[in-house]
């Protein structure tokens, strides 16, 4: 028997056959209700098991007292309970044979030494049982192609861009824009504190995923640089990266956010340039670059022609095009003559 392929393991999270929601709630204001509802509303085809010892049914689904009461065990557990109960719940998942977990709950390494200790317990339990874990402190996962939206906002359009984000808000902004333009996504994974699954795992996964055309990753720091390098060397899809923590104080802010080392920005620049990784500097660029790779035909060259009724607009556009390295073409005198009004 060989060790499980870490890429295939993520199928339990992004293509599960069955899902338990540990901490499902009867209260529509709570995430434990909203996530369960989004899983149902996204059209998930397998069984969904709410886990809540105090309810009989939620959203017309029968409730279970604990994950061990579910038979057969679900592929994926989505966990939304207070941080101090998470290690025990994950332990039960491991014992019962659950293969993947998405821990939405916060209160871990981002919350101080006590949370740090809880996160360490999560890592130990995950490793002991071989359960792959997304989060904690994350906004969940969405794969509209499977389909499964264990996240928010609900996005059901099937698109080409897989979004990986260390920030739930940045990911949600991308989901909002992709929804507004009816483009949808290939998948969305909010990584949160990256106790286990990180950007390297996910880039490797989406590089093989037939539904993904472009990978867009918001990161504050690369968790495992050597493994990352091995993965990007084999990359055959466009990868757009928005790497924050560029400035000294931004770096301090990044390191306090999800407790990741941000590293010197120049090293990232060099690394990205070497591996043809497209670096975005703003969230707007992050969206635009990913969209362009996914939906536009690559131009044959760098020449561009402006057609405008405004001289001023034409000059401003020419300036910007030149600054971006484009070659502003001029019409041949013969063609210009035929176009004269």
Give the interface with a second copy as residue ranges (CB under 8 A): 110, 165-170, 218, 220, 242, 244-250, 253-254, 256-258, 282-283, 309-316, 318-323, 328
CB of residue 84 vs a second copy: minimum separation in angstroms?
16
Q: How far is the CB of 250 from a second copy (least distance, A)?
A: 4
Residue closer to a second copy, measured from CB, 2 or 338: 338
| Three-class secondary structure of residue 48 per DSSP | strand
Cβ nearer to a second copy, comparing 181 with 322: 322
CB of 229 or CB of 304, closer to a second copy: 304
Euclidean distance between CA atoms 120 and 189, whole angstroms: 21
Under 8 Å CB-to-CB from 247, ≥6 apart: which residues? 265
Q: Mapping DSSP to helix (H, G, I), strand (E, B) and coil, where does residue 329 land?
A: coil
**Cβ closest to a second copy, residue 65 vs residue 331:** 331
DSSP string, 87-144: HHHHHHHHHHT--EEEE----SGGG-HHHHHHHHHHHHHHHHHT-EEE-SS--EEEET
Full DSSP string of 206-257: HHH-TT-SEEEEEESS-S-HHHHHHHHHT--S-EEEEE---SHHHHHHHHHH
- Residue 81 CB, shortest distance to a second copy, in Å, is 18
Q: In the complex with a second copy, which residue's Cβ is closer, 247 or 276?
A: 247
Using an 8 Å Cβ cutoff, are 188 and 171 in contact?
A: yes
Q: Is 272 helix (H, G, I), strand (E, B) or coil?
A: helix
Length of the chain: 341
Please identify, using beta-carbon distances, which residue of 137 and 142 lies nearer to a second copy: 137
> 157: number of CA atoms within 13 Å, CB side?
15
Least distance in Å: CB of 52 to a second copy?
25
Q: How far is the CB of 170 from a second copy (least distance, A)?
A: 4
Q: Cβ neighbours of residue 28 under 8 Å, at least 6 residues apart? A: 34
Q: How far is the CB of 251 from a second copy (least distance, A)?
A: 9
Beta bridge mates, 304 = 328
Nearer to a second copy, 123 or 283 (CB): 283
CB of 48 to a second copy, least distance (A): 29
């Amino acid at each position: 028997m060989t060790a499980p392929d870490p890429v295939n393991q993520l199928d339990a999270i992004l293509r599960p056959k069955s899902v338990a929601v540990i901490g499902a709630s009867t209260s529509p204001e709570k995430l434990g209700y909203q996530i369960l509802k989004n899983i149902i509303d996204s059209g998930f085809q397998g069984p969904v098991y709410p886990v809540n010892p105090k309810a009989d049914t939620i959203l017309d689904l029968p409730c279970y007292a604990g994950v061990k009461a579910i038979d057969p065990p679900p592929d994926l557990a989505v966990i939304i309970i207070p941080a101090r109960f998470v290690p025990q719940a994950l332990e039960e998942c491991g014992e019962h044979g659950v293969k993947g977990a998405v821990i939405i709950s916060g209160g871990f390494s981002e919350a101080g030494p006590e949370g740090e200790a809880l996160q360490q317990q999560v890592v130990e339990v995950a490793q002991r049982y071989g359960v792959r874990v997304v989060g904690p402190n994350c906004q969940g996962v969405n794969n509209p192609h499977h389909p499964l939206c264990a996240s928010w906002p609900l996005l059901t359009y099937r698109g080409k861009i897989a979004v990986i984000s260390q920030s739930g808000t940045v990911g949600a902004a991308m989901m909002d824009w992709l929804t507004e333009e009816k483009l949808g996504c290939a998948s969305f994974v909010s990584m949160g504190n990256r106790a286990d699954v990180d950007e390297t795992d996910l880039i490797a996964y989406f590089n093989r995923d037939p539904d993904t055309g472009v990978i867009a990753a918001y990161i504050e720091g690369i968790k495992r640089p050597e493994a990352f390098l091995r993965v990007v060397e084999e990359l055959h899809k466009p990868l757009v990266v928005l790497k924050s923590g560029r400035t000294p104080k931004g770096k301090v802010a990044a390191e306090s956010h999800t407790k990741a080392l941000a590293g010197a920005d120049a090293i990232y620049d060099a690394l990205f340039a070497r591996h043809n990784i497209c670096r975005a500097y703003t969230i707007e660029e992050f969206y635009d670059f990913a969209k362009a790779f996914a939906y536009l035909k690559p131009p044959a060259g760098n020449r561009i022609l402006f057609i405008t009724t405004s001289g001023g607009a034409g000059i401003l556009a020419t300036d910007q095009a030149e600054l971006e390295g484009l070659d502003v073409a001029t019409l041949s005198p013969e063609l210009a003559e035929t176009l004269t009004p």
